[in-house]
Amino acid sequence: MRSWVFPGQTTDVTTVEQVKKDLQGWRLGRCVFVGDAGMNSEENRRTLALGAGKYILATRIRAGDEVSREVVTRAGRYQKVADNLQVKEVVVGDGERRRRYVVCFNPEEAERQRKHREKVLAALEEELATLRDPEPGGKHSKRACDLLTRPRYARYLRQTATGALRIDRAAIDHEAKLDGKWVVTSNDDTLTAEDMALGYKQLMRVEACWRTIKTGLRTRPIFHWTAHRICAHVSLCVLALLIERMAEIRARDTWRNVAATLETIQVVEYERAGTKVRQTSEVRGAAAELLRRLQVAIPPKIHAVGPTEAAEPTADASNNPAVVFTPTSRT
């Protein structure tokens, strides 16, 4: 597993060449580069294709290019891959220069986007109801300008000949046709439409892992001033994430549940009759089964036995010798 750290002002599209150059030293038998729409550019596709390189890249579906004109609107039957995923392959062009696209459709996401748009339009209609038509000369009020500059509302607005704001029904119909859809492209003819869709969905899992690093593992803020310390900090977080994912895969459960079960395994340190003993709590039930799945040996019962340091004995209210328990530590 390898990670890269680039300066903050580096744009995504400029990182591909460096990453591919570094991977060549690994002499991988086959490598498929998966990237989101921010990585998809003509220069990057050319760089990734050098040396018989293969890629799966997401494409923008609202850019006004051939994807929005010819791919998304192409008629055809979807193939069901899973309950929440359907795919349809579209080929544009002929011969060696043909482009393969796969239109992916998620019915659950489509329903979520439809409900979200209804809430946005309801709020927009309330805003428009309180606006007055612009003064002669076409000058808008501050509130009208705010609506036009907010992406949340601007895509659903149009201006009349007098400059008044109205809801654009054609834009709503266009957005409805894109609900739950995303498009990927690839230069690997050995990949089926299902392979391309599922391959890109793995990237979504990677993106979820990065969110885990930024939140659960708290990568940021980074209080380092030198580049090598920043790189070391990020690398340690990536390794921690790798351990989390390995545990989730082996345990077939979420890290949250895995961690909660592991917390029941504790090391207790106590003193009795001048002897300090450090031992593991009894491991049984769900904890023992989890360790078996993780392929981790059950920790030894006794860790250490030795004399206590010279100290005044403590006693309870009856002046009987007391057993002193130190704070519990977790393995």
Divide the 331 residues of the chain into consecutive groups of 10 and give the mean pLDDT of each group.
83 79 75 85 85 87 87 90 90 86 93 95 91 70 84 89 87 92 92 91 78 71 81 86 89 90 89 86 90 91 79 45 40 38
48 shares its domain with 186 = yes
137 shares its domain with 34 = no
6 is a domain residue: no
74 shares its domain with 121 = no
Q: Which residue range is the domain that position 299 belongs to?
A: 263-330
The predicted structure's pLDDT at residue 318: 43
58 is a domain residue: yes
Side-chain-side CA neighbours of residue 152 (13 Å): 13
189 shares its domain with 85 = yes
207 is a domain residue: no
Among 198, 228, 253, the domain boundary falls at 198
- The answer to whether the beta carbons of residues 129 and 118 sit under 8 Å apart is no
The predicted structure's pLDDT at residue 138: 60
- The answer to whether the beta carbons of residues 67 and 183 sit under 8 Å apart is yes
* Rounded CA separation 262/214 (Å): 23
The predicted structure's pLDDT at residue 114: 95
75 shares its domain with 189 = yes
- Which residue spans within 39-138 are E strands per DSSP? 54-59, 79-82, 85-92, 99-105
126: left (phi over 0), alpha (psi -120 to 50) or beta: alpha
132 shares its domain with 166 = yes
281 shares its domain with 165 = no
Placement of tokens 């940021």 in the chain? 220
39 shares its domain with 65 = yes
Burial of 59 (0-12, 13-18, 19+ CB in 10 A): buried
- Residue 243 structure tokens: 């351990």
- 181 bridge partner residues: 105
32-35/54-59 β-pairing:
parallel
16 shares its domain with 100 = yes
> What global pTM score does this model have?
0.66
- Count Cβ atoms below 10 Å from residue 182 Cβ, excluding itself: 22
Report how many domains make up the chain. Answer: 3
DSSP 8-state class, residue 319? -
42 shares its domain with 93 = yes
* Rounded CA separation 191/193 (Å): 7
73 is a domain residue: yes
Placement of tokens 């340091």 in the chain? 309
114 shares its domain with 73 = no
100 shares its domain with 112 = no
The predicted structure's pLDDT at residue 171: 92
- Of 283, 301, 303, the closest CA to residue 292 belongs to 283
Placement of tokens 């309180």 in the chain? 130
Placement of tokens 């428009």 in the chain? 128
